[in-house]
């Protein structure tokens, strides 16, 4: 089994938290079962978060700040994805431009 790390503080998960995360991830498509076992805080998309016990306690103590932090993380991830697409397009068009340039020099 691969080691699970907290996605907030990058600390290694306690076996109980790791087990919860695996079980909750496995039962995502079974909402009835998931509601019964759900112990981890979840993202807006309903996915369980991979958190260690101390981070989970902090979240439960400050639910509003935690929600905001999760939303920000998701927003940043989306921006990164958009930036990646832009970079790929940029590289492709640079390649196209070079071909054009070299082609015109040869002619
Ligand atoms: Zn943590």
Contact 52, 10 (CB under 8 A): no
Distance 12 CA to ligand 1 centre (A): 8
Distance 79 CA to ligand 1 centre (A): 24
Boundaries of domain holding 5: 1-61
Distance (Å) of CA 81 to CA 14, 19, 69: 31, 30, 18
List, in order, residues 6 or more apart from 8 with CB less than 8 Å away: 49, 51, 52, 55
Distance 92 CA to ligand 1 centre (A): 40
Considering the domain architecture, whether residues 14 and 48 belong to the same structural domain is answered as yes
Condensed to tens digits (0 to 9), the pLDDT of residues 55-90 reads: 889 888 988 887 787 778 778 888 888 888 888 888
Condensed to tens digits (0 to 9), the pLDDT of residues 36-59 reads: 778 887 776 778 888 899 988 988
Instruction: Give the span between the Cα atoms of 104 and 98, in whole angstroms.
Output: 10
Considering the domain architecture, whether residues 57 and 70 belong to the same structural domain is answered as no
Considering the domain architecture, whether residues 71 and 39 belong to the same structural domain is answered as no
Contact 47, 28 (CB under 8 A): yes
pTM over 0.75: no
């Amino acid at each position: 089994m691969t080691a699970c790390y907290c996605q907030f503080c990058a600390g290694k998960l306690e076996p109980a938290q790791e087990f919860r995360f695996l079980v909750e991830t496995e039962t995502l498509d079974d909402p009835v079962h998931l509601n019964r076992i759900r112990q981890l805080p979840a993202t807006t998309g309903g996915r369980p978060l991979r958190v260690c016990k101390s981070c989970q306690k902090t979240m439960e103590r400050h639910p509003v700040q935690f929600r905001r932090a999760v939303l920000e993380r998701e927003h940043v991830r989306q921006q990164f994805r958009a930036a990646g697409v832009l970079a790929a397009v940029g590289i492709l068009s640079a390649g196209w431009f070079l071909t054009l340039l070299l082609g015109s020099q040869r002619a």
